[in-house]
Amino acid sequence: MKQRLVGFFDERMDLSALRRWAKEKSVPQHKHSFWYYFGGLALFLITLQIITGILLALYYSPNPAYAHESVKYVMETVKYGWLIRSIHFWGANFLVAVVFIHMFSTYFMKAYRKPREVMWILGVLILGLVLAFTFTGYLLPWTTLSYFATKVGVNTPSIMPILGRFITRIMEGGRDVGAATLTRMFTLHTVILPLLAVLLITLHVLLSQVFGSSVPLSQANKREAIKFFPNFLMRDAAVWAGGLAILLAMVTMFPAGLGPKVNPVMPAPVGIKPEWYFLFVFETLRRFPETIAIGTITLAVLVWLIVPFLDRRASRNQKSTFFTLFGAAVLVYMISMTILAYLTT
């Protein structure tokens, strides 16, 4: 059966190139190979988010009068609705964590160095998209917390000169967060961002096939490699199975909650905090003057984006201690600000 199926496609499309690719593709093996699995895991989680997202969209109504009720209906009435929404909720959290780990491991292994500069830029943009997904999806349940957190979020860019107010107005779709904002967030979350994500992820994955996995400079003399097909793919699949098992365990223990429906006339509750992945930005904005905080974060993101072009030593396959320290400083800052935000009431 398998032979006949392969023969069917081979006769029509000539799969010899694909067969050659599968036979020749290998993945380097060294003491840091562990980090290679996070890219595949991120791709797996994105697929899971797409599937659960489509299922949720079948019931969701992007209208302030029905949004909260439609999510409540999914959670309480739709068969296994609680499971699908909880997987989507926890999947988003896992995805952000996995993409962050993938990015920092790529950074510290200097995998952004020539010829993978474009891959790095695409990767950073994909992280931005993932965060945009979480931000736009946050308002959709139309709860008190999601409403007021989004209000803070959409107003943050207005501090920026020139384009700030324009960005805020575009996101709000009016003078305040309301029906237009909900429709815009829903459109962004389900149409615009997925289209962009498919484009960027496809390019990122294609480039990773062209260049293969990068070997860290410290392991450059190691020549060991394993075949991608089937050995590495089976290892990858084992990681996905383990990841999904942990995700299901979290879903069982802590299913996604649904707060009370928002009443926009009421004052914002005290002590609202964003999700864990935005806490370092939140704390930075709270501790420093807004203009300085926004300016510094924007500059840091730009530097992060073009780091392969700044780190000339890595491009020449030389150690670049300065950029390792820079990455470590960014990581320490993000973690410490997140902890501070958690501890501060």
Residue numbers at the binding site for other proteins (CB under 8 A): 23, 72, 75-77, 82-83, 226, 230-231, 234-235, 237-239, 241-242, 244-246, 248-249, 251-255, 257-258
How far is Cα 56 from Cα 50, in angstroms, rounded to an integer? 10
DSSP state of 225: E
Q: What are the backbone dihedrals phi and psi of residue 227, each rounded to the nearest 5 degrees, phi first?
A: -65, 140
Question: Which of residues 173 and 255 has its CB atom nearest to other proteins in the complex?
Answer: 255
Residue that has been written with the tokens 């093996």 in this structure: 29
Question: Which of residues 156 and 213 has its CB atom nearest to other proteins in the complex?
Answer: 213
How far is Cα 293 from Cα 287, in angstroms, rounded to an integer? 8
How far is Cα 231 from Cα 234, in angstroms, rounded to an integer? 5
The total of other beta-carbon atoms located within 10 Å of residue 304's CB is 18
How far apart are CB 235 and other proteins at their closest, in Å? 6
Residue that has been written with the tokens 């207005």 in this structure: 158
How far apart are CB 237 and other proteins at their closest, in Å? 5
Question: Which of residues 66 and 80 has its CB atom nearest to other proteins in the complex?
Answer: 80
Question: Which of residues 1 and 265 has its CB atom nearest to other proteins in the complex?
Answer: 1
Question: Which of residues 44 and 280 has its CB atom nearest to other proteins in the complex?
Answer: 44
Question: Which of residues 246 and 266 has its CB atom nearest to other proteins in the complex?
Answer: 246
How far is Cα 215 from Cα 221, in angstroms, rounded to an integer? 9
How far apart are CB 227 and other proteins at their closest, in Å? 8
How far is Cα 166 from Cα 152, in angstroms, rounded to an integer? 16
How far apart are CB 25 and other proteins at their closest, in Å? 13
Rg (CA), the chain: 22
How far apart are CB 44 and other proteins at their closest, in Å? 12
HEC secondary structure over 86-117 = HHHHHHHHHHHHHHHHHHHHHHHCCCCCCCCH
How far apart are CB 145 and other proteins at their closest, in Å? 15
Question: Which of residues 128 and 259 has its CB atom nearest to other proteins in the complex?
Answer: 259
How far apart are CB 109 and other proteins at their closest, in Å? 23
Query: Residue 92's closest CA among 150, 53, 35?
Result: 53
